[in-house]
Amino acid sequence: MSGLTDLTIAGARAGLDSGDFSARELAQAHIDAMAQHKALNAFITETPERALADADASDARRAKGESAGPMDGVPIAMKDLFCTEGVRSTAGSHILEPFVPPYESTVSGKLKAGGSVMLGKANLDEFAMGSANITSYFGPVTNPWVAGGGDNRQRVPGGSSGGSAAAVAARIAIAATGTDTGGSIRQPASFCGIVGLKPTYGRCSRWGIVAFASSLDQAGPMTRTVEDAATMLQVMAGHDPKDSTSAPYDTPNFAEKLRAGVKGLKIGVPKEYRVDGMPAEIDRIWHQGADWLRAQGADVVEISLPHTKYALPTYYIIAPAEASSNLARYDGVRYGLRVPGKDLKEMYENTRAEGFGAEVKRRIMIGTYVLSAGYYDAYYLKAQKVRSLILRDFTQAFEQVDAILTPTAPSAAFALGEKQDDPVQMYLNDVFTVPASMAGLPAISVPGGLSDEGLPLGLHLIGKPFDEVTLVQVAQALEEAAGFSARPAGY
Ligand code: GLN
């Protein structure tokens, strides 16, 4: 079970550069793993021929002494929310099931130009709405981790980037792309025992990513080490004139202070995150994380983010509002599925009734309600005001501290079928990740240890806007202290 599929991005690059193996051999090992672990349902569309062609191109470059960058020849999974030219891009939805984009998203295009090898399009919650990867039209994804103690119920991988997280944890892909609107990179990373980095809003272009909530959506890397996350973000990031919210900043070297340690840094622990009913094992890992940073010379201080408790309720106004507007474009005329009707209106209705799943319909209904005349001021506008207060809390906190430490999620991976009948229970999964999304801040989940049942638990760091360099620096220190080497049995 060791060998080529155990490599990190850094390890793969070293092996490729020294000629220990070819990009084709590396791709083939991962294609074999993808075939072997089909039962996880981590992919909606597998693209093995494309992977081999990408790998051959990489080998040809190396033979000429050229390199497309630090991910040249590295096999990755692409979340199926990124439009990929000539490759079906479904967003996990029936309504986009037949959609083959004639264009490439900016981020997937950068990864392609950077020589990475695309294994396939990873499964996700429909339109990235969910926390368990159970709303996908193409079926749920299985978490490769199984709890100890005889409870062998199938666990969810988290969501919405559940296929990406499962593929990286199961050694099918060395890394994967994710997108995060309220936690969809970080929470599945926590559930699957990998690293997930959501950059500052505006760091990566949203152009060509199927839109969920445009003021929140961000692309980011999902990897097995913090160093790999920095490397992959380096390839993905950068200003893009095609996305008006893409930040016009130069991309720093994200790994610049990777091993600089945390001595002298100030880390905030927000008291409001100590929510009622928090499981003891989550509290324990959080304390452990603070102790690890303290032991390495960081100054860990309590901070207050008083509006945090409003982050989740306001997110569930703003995100559905933006989603209802973004999803208006799926009308059976321009993209994907069309279900005929006796006239145009009936065709719209039939297409949308059949094309969208229950969770997406719920969000569209909430969104149109909070945007409707009479309710706009009471809900949407109010939520936007509260959003400003949430941001102000963080701005004030960052006058004192360099980064903030919290747990990533309030639990380890739960069983398939759990929380499924109660949307609010499901939404509560995002309680720790949503505040940073509302404030547009960079944040990362790093594996911290195992739960009592032997499932991974993540630690979450939130950074200052556009300060991914410090975020990665602190995350590296946590990773080293945690020394997380557990892996899902059989992978
Ligand atoms: N789980 C959250 C939701 O359902 C966040 C999803 C995401 O970040 N894409 O909205």
| Predicted confidence (pLDDT) per residue in 422-467, tens digit | 888 888 889 999 999 999 999 999 999 999 999 999 999 999 999 9
Q: Could you read off the pLDDT of 95-118 as tens digits, one per residue?
A: 999 999 999 999 999 999 999 999
| Mean pLDDT, range 338-367, rounded to an integer | 98
Is the pLDDT at 2 greater than 60? The verdict is no
Closest atom, ligand 1, to C-alpha of 183: 8
Closest CA to 128 of 407, 345, 430: 430
Query: Is the distance from the beta carbon of residue 92 to the nearest atom of ligand 1 less than 6 Å?
Result: no
Assess whether the C-beta atom of 28 lies below 6 angstroms from ligand 1: no
pLDDT band for position 383 (cuts 50, 70, 90): very high
- Which residue, 333, 115, 110, is CA-closest to 243? 110
**CA distance linking residue 62 with residue 424, whole number of Å:** 51
3-state secondary structure of 437: helix
Question: What confidence score (pLDDT) does residue 171 get?
Answer: 98
Q: Which atom of ligand 1 is nearest to the CA of 359?
A: 4
Q: Measure 80 CA to ligand 1 centroid, in angstroms.
A: 15
- Nearest-angstrom CA–CA distance, 348 and 241: 33
Confidence (pLDDT) at 422: 85
Residue 350: per-residue pLDDT: 98
Mutation test residue for ligand 1: of 184, 216, 326, the one with most atoms within 8 Å of CB:
184
Q: What integer pLDDT is reported at residue 411 of this predicted model?
A: 94
366 in contact with ligand 1, CB cutoff 6 A = no
What is the percent of the chain where pLDDT is above 90?
A: 94
User: What is the CA(248)–ligand 1 centre distance, in A?
Assistant: 26
Q: Encode pLDDT of 17-67 as tens digits.
A: 999 999 999 999 999 999 999 999 999 999 999 999 999 999 999 999 999
Query: What would the pLDDT profile of 272-309 be if each residue is shown by its tens digit?
Result: 998 888 899 999 999 999 999 999 999 999 999 999 99
Ligand 1 pocket test: pick from 124, 127, 129, 318 the residue with the most ligand atoms within 8 Å of its Cβ. Answer: 129
What is the spatial distance between Cα 278 and Cα 479, in angstroms, rounded to a whole number?
23
Tell me the pLDDT of the chain averaged across its residues: 97
Structure tokens at 191: 């559930």
CB of 158 sitting under 6 A from ligand 1: no
| Percent of the chain surpassing pLDDT 70 | 100
Q: How far is CA 328 from CA 212, 384, 445, 456, in A?
A: 11, 22, 33, 38
Q: What is the 90 CA–ligand 1 centroid distance (Å)? A: 17
Q: Give the three-state DSSP class for 126.
A: helix
Q: What is the mean pLDDT of residues 121-141?
A: 98
* Helix, strand, coil percent values for the chain (each to nearest 5): 40, 15, 45
Q: Is the CB of 255 under 6 A from ligand 1?
A: no
Q: How confident is residue 4, by pLDDT bands cut at 50, 70 and 90?
A: very high
To test the pocket of ligand 1, the residue of 123, 124, 133, 181 to mutate (highest count of ligand atoms within 8 Å of its CB) is 181
Catalytic residues: 79, 160, 184
Q: Is the pLDDT of residue 1 over 60?
A: no
Is residue 269's pLDDT more than 60? Answer: yes
- φ and ψ at residue 458, rounded to 5 degrees: -100, 150
Best CA proximity match to 73, nearest among 88, 58, 62: 58
The reported pLDDT for the residue numbered 34 is: 98
Q: Residue 149 region, left (φ>0) first, then alpha (ψ -120 to 50), else beta?
A: left
Q: Please compute the mean of the pLDDT values over residues 110-133 and round it to a whole number.
A: 98
- For residue 312, pLDDT over 70 is answered with yes
Of the candidates 356, 310, 362, the residue with the CA atom closest to the CA atom of residue 335 = 356
Domain spans in the chain, listed from the N-terminal domain onward: 4-262+408-482
What is the 318 CA–ligand 1 centroid distance (Å)? 12
- Residue 127: CB atoms within 10 A of its CB come to 31
Q: Any idea which fold 4-262+408-482 has? A: Amidase signature (AS) enzymes (3.90.1300)
- 226 is written with which tokens? 């913090």
